[in-house]
Amino acid sequence: MDRSDIVNAFAAYAMIHDDETMLYRTGRSQDLRRLRDVSTVKDQRPYEILSCLEPGALMGYFGLVDKFKGREAANEAFWEYARVGWPWGVTVQVLNRDDNPFDVEFIVSDPIAEDWADAHGSLDGGTWEGTGDPGFVYDTGYWHDKLFEKLQAEGYDLDFSQWSDPEPEDHATAAHIAECEDCQNTGDFDQAREHMNEEHPLTVAANEALADLAADVIRREREEDERQLWLAFEGP
């Protein structure tokens, strides 16, 4: 480790652990590189500081945590830093929203939530929003039958314990909204459902038939996807 890595490792440690004396001493060094621009900022999160370091300085920082705080603290600091870089580094909770069964809410409640969201961007085109708490972020999206499969394939850890897929009548309501200008203008899903039932009452049997049809379409699409994958694997 060269002198610059040592100076930057000490500066990062001083900033994260509020060691004013150490920060003053390292801040005067000409070897302080990319940290110089943020060395006077008090509200930087640990990941923002550590992401400025060269690899040698980064390992030096964790060595300092080990020396001054102990091995357990060093392991925890390294683990949190590593988790930020992994799509599966946090658990994303998936919830229904009250106003529309096709609206999806994603929530991350974790000490590294904001850092993780900054590192990975949006889920399916949305935008992570903060609340002032670095341990909590949320995003919204719109359900489609391949949404969760796509996100899981990208490595995201999704928790579906509070999620339920749209019901057959929800699909019928969405189809009604697509054809009804009045319901499009109101933007109220429950009101659109009432309007649909007034114009086209759906019996229980019709709902069940619609559910069977939807399941059959999804099954056929998946079978075709699997067939295309096998064809691509086997080659011409």
Task: DSSP for 136-204, please give it.
Answer: EEEEEEE--TTHHHHHHHTT-EEEEEE--PPPHHHHHHHHHHHH-HHHHHH--HHHHHHHHHHHS---H
**Rg over CA atoms, the chain:** 26
* CA proximity to 18, closest of 66, 58, 55, 68: 68
What strands lie across the sheet with 157-162, from one edge to the other?
129-130, 136-142, 100-109, 91-97, 157-162
**What is the identity of the amino acid at 71?**
R
Segments of the chain scoring below 70 in pLDDT: 27-43, 200-211, 229-236
Alpha-carbon 48 to chain mean position: 18
Taking the alpha carbons at both ends of the chain, their separation in whole angstroms is 53
**What is the identity of the amino acid at 210?**
L
At 178 the pLDDT is 84
- B/e letters for 108-123, b = 16+ CB within 10 Å, e = fewer, are bebebbbbbbbbbeeb
Give the pLDDT confidence of 14-72 residue by residue, as tens digits: 889 888 888 777 766 666 666 655 555 556 788 888 988 889 999 999 999 999 999 99
Predicted TM-score (pTM) of the model is: 0.72
At 163 the pLDDT is 95
**What is the identity of the amino acid at 93?**
Q
Alpha-carbon 196 to chain mean position: 35
Alpha-carbon span 59 to 40, nearest angstrom: 22
Alpha-carbon span 149 to 153, nearest angstrom: 6
